[in-house]
A and B are shown apart, each in its own frame.
Chain A
């Protein structure tokens, strides 16, 4: 199943760098999500977008900046990250906000 594609799969960056994570879904879904998955912690919902509009920001630090130009694409812009931001970042999509979510493979982010 390759309905939700994330790039890059791995990313190493310094604390002063600026990078972006990309998510694309080919399922015709209207809602998209960013999650953070850290070791020994539950998946944490970061942002929810519905029809390109942000509907949820789960108290995420401003060094993470999401962008949703259309219902098929979702970006997560990163700047001035901290070592504790190292994690697997997962994107998901759903037909609408009340339907099951389908995940991508994630981007493994390491902050040096």
Chain B
């Protein structure tokens, strides 16, 4: 089955800096890659997703890049703010978007 690895497990950046989180996947047939943000005690919230027919997608300060050849995708957050502090999860799915395999999460801390 699919295996998703996520790095780093923790990331600390200063406010205003950029943050990058990377994930690799094992199934070359995977075609859907969402990213979720989970604040402490709250639900995971979808922040951006990308499908395999696109190499990059951007939404304001957040962007995701996909390298199908290398089987990895990354989340980029620019101009980080304290409210970006949370745990971020990547995931991958093959076929439909229903059968998601998640990474282990990255705890991002944005310091003042």
Contact = CB atoms under 8 A, between A and B. Distances in A.
A100 interface: yes
Interface string B69-112: 00000000000000000000101000011111111110000000
A66 interface: no
Nearest to A106: B43
A14 B91 CA distance: 33
Interface string A26-67: 000001010000001111110010100001100000000000
A74 to B, nearest CB: 14
A98 B98 CA distance: 6
Interface of B: 4, 32, 34, 36, 42-46, 49, 89, 91, 96-105
Interface of A: 1, 4, 31, 33, 40-45, 48, 50, 55-56, 90, 94, 97-106
